[in-house]
Amino acid sequence: MVRVVSRRLIQLFVTLIALMTLVFFWLRSLPGGPVDALLGERATPQTRELLTRALGYDQPIWVQYGRFLKNVVTGDFGNSIRTGEPVTDVISRSFPATIELAVAAIIIAVGLGIPLGYLAARYRGRLLDNATIIVTLIGISIPIFFLGYLLKDWLTQGIHFFPPSGRISTGMDNTDVTGFFVLDGLLTREFDASADALWHLVLPAVTLATIPLAIIVRITRASVLDVLDEDYIRTADAKGLRNATIRKRHVLRNALLPVVTTIGLQTGALLAGAVLTEKVYNWGGLGTLITDSISGGRDYPVLQALILLAAVVFIVVNLLVDLSYAIIDPRVRVQ
């Protein structure tokens, strides 16, 4: 186990170096840049040159790249061009918001998706199954921003059931400990803040969860149906085991393998979906930060750090997926 993890960590390191290089050059090959964005079209050549030099962009690109690498290794991602704050501060302010949203979405998608997919398979060909197939098809096809605005319109405008935007009500006097508002409320025993944050979380999380949910339902259903056809299920039947035992012990565990893989892959999609969801619900997270950093000034340092962060999250999640695979299936366990 230790060997597997350490090998994966080395892989992670190599991947990150490659990704950093790619992102560094890719960002700089885009037309425009921080100087244009900050000064606008009517700036004099003198000011442009001054700013270019101040930001260090006058040096040869490989010198910039070397400095960037050196700084990253020491944990210094530089300062945001837009606000001048250290990038790490900027990101750590937005990070908890997105994680809170993503975790809530994953909980909904997995917690609802696996049981639903399982039930659809169990009642194959009946009403529940057919309804599930149709609804999940809609769930997969509907664009996030469209669904987001639709839900917002229905449930916050007319009947004011849910708050339309933000992470917490203005005027809520909550103490910030970790940045995860729901968790903070529990930690500081400000339960009203927790409940309020949770209430704000519902619509964005549901919006973000729809696509992964639909996919997990379908994968679970297909996987359970596959397993039900396996010879060892027939053996279990021949043993006279109770249906409940067969389902719990023999079907579910085998059926979970493809589902776990899917969950890992969907995490990547979740990060992308978060950008749109956060926009719709004015959720101050990484998604908002990334759009602001691109459109409002080509904030190279922030963008570089964000992309790296996304990669780290994705790789770590997939490492966890591989580890849980080993727990579920003895055949992939390393001796």
Tell me which residues touch another protein (CB under 8 A).
230-232, 234-243, 245, 249-250, 253-254, 328-331
**Least distance to another protein from the beta carbon of 234, Å?**
6
Q: Is the dihedral of CA 261, 263, 266, 268 positive or negative?
A: negative
Q: Are 65 and 56 in contact (CB under 8 A)?
A: no
CB of 109 to another protein, least distance (A): 24
Compute the chain's Rg from CA coordinates.
Answer: 24
Shortest distance, CB of residue 217 to another protein, whole angstroms? 22
Q: Is the dihedral of CA 246, 250, 253, 257 positive or negative?
A: negative
Nearer to another protein, 171 or 240 (CB): 240
Nearer to another protein, 133 or 332 (CB): 332
Taking the complex as a whole, how short is the minimal distance between the CB of residue 226 and another protein, in angstroms? 13
Q: Give min distance, CB of 198 to another protein, in A.
A: 36
Minimum CB distance to another protein, residue 248 (Å): 11
> Residue 86: beta bridge partners?
79
Q: How far is CA 311 from CA 27, 91, 107, 252, 276, in A?
A: 16, 15, 21, 31, 18
Is 35 or 120 the residue whose CB approaches another protein more closely? 120
Is the CB of 142 or the CB of 328 nearer to another protein? 328
| Helix pair angle (191-228, 252-280), 10° resolution | 140
Nearer to another protein by Cβ, of 230 and 322: the residue is: 230
Helix (H, G, I), strand (E, B) or coil at 49: helix
Q: Which is nearer to another protein, 67 or 253 (CB)?
A: 253
Q: Nearest approach, Cβ of 30 to another protein (angstroms)? A: 49
Alpha carbons 221 and 216: distance in angstroms, whole number? 8
Q: Encoding tokens for residue 24?
A: 């560094």
Helix residue ranges per DSSP H, the chain: 2-29, 34-39, 45-55, 61-73, 87-122, 127-141, 144-152, 181-187, 191-228, 231-238, 243-245, 252-280, 286-295, 300-328
Token match 């001054």: residue? 50
Could you tell me the smallest distance in angstroms from the CB atom of residue 227 to another protein? 10
Whose Cβ is closer to another protein: residue 39's or residue 241's? 241
Q: Which is nearer to another protein, 14 or 238 (CB)?
A: 238
Q: Is 22 exposed, middle or buried (0-12, 13-18, 19+ CB in 10 A)?
A: exposed
